[in-house]
Amino acid sequence: MKKKKVALMRNFDLWSDNFIKIDKEGEHYYFEIGNHITTDLAEAVAIIMKYKSKSDSKFWDLAIEEIDYYNITPEKSLYWLSGGEFEWKIMSNYKKTWIDSSLLYQEEFGMRVISILKKSKTMNDVRNGFLKYLNLPILYEFALENEIA
């Protein structure tokens, strides 16, 4: 995840509002979400889930197609789904750092992230897949079993 340091010189034609900007060229998505920049669709949805209310149905209805799976790094979305910056920097619930824990999460849930993306037709499908199969209770139970939390 890269922090935005300068404004990107892109026309965000797919979606643009005050918080989220999305562009797509071929199979490549480009996301600006607040001060976060990513090209990873799964990570973008996980970040947006953390910050965006469910009421903005127009965004969640956006169709996704031609995903570049080589540009998906499951550990990035798992970072956000398991608590994100607040949990992993404050460390109020975790005993180990994200660096020490990320490989375990990726081995256990990485293919599930890809599977959710492959079955999804809209941003809402990705969100619902994350809520069903990679929700915080599932991820936290895993953390407890592996002495991460």
Q: What is the mean pLDDT of residues 38-46?
A: 95
- Cα 147 to Cα 5, 9, 82, 123, distances in angstroms: 36, 44, 15, 33
What letter would DSSP give residue 104? Answer: H
Q: With cut-offs at 50, 70 and 90, classify the pLDDT of residue 36.
A: very high
**pTM metric for this prediction:** 0.87
**Tens digits of per-residue pLDDT, 71-87?**
899 999 999 999 998 89
The pLDDT, as a whole number, for residue 56 is: 67
**Tens digits of per-residue pLDDT, 2-11?**
554 444 555 6
Number of domains in the chain: 1
Find the domain containing 66 and state its range. Answer: 2-145
The pLDDT, as a whole number, for residue 5 is: 47
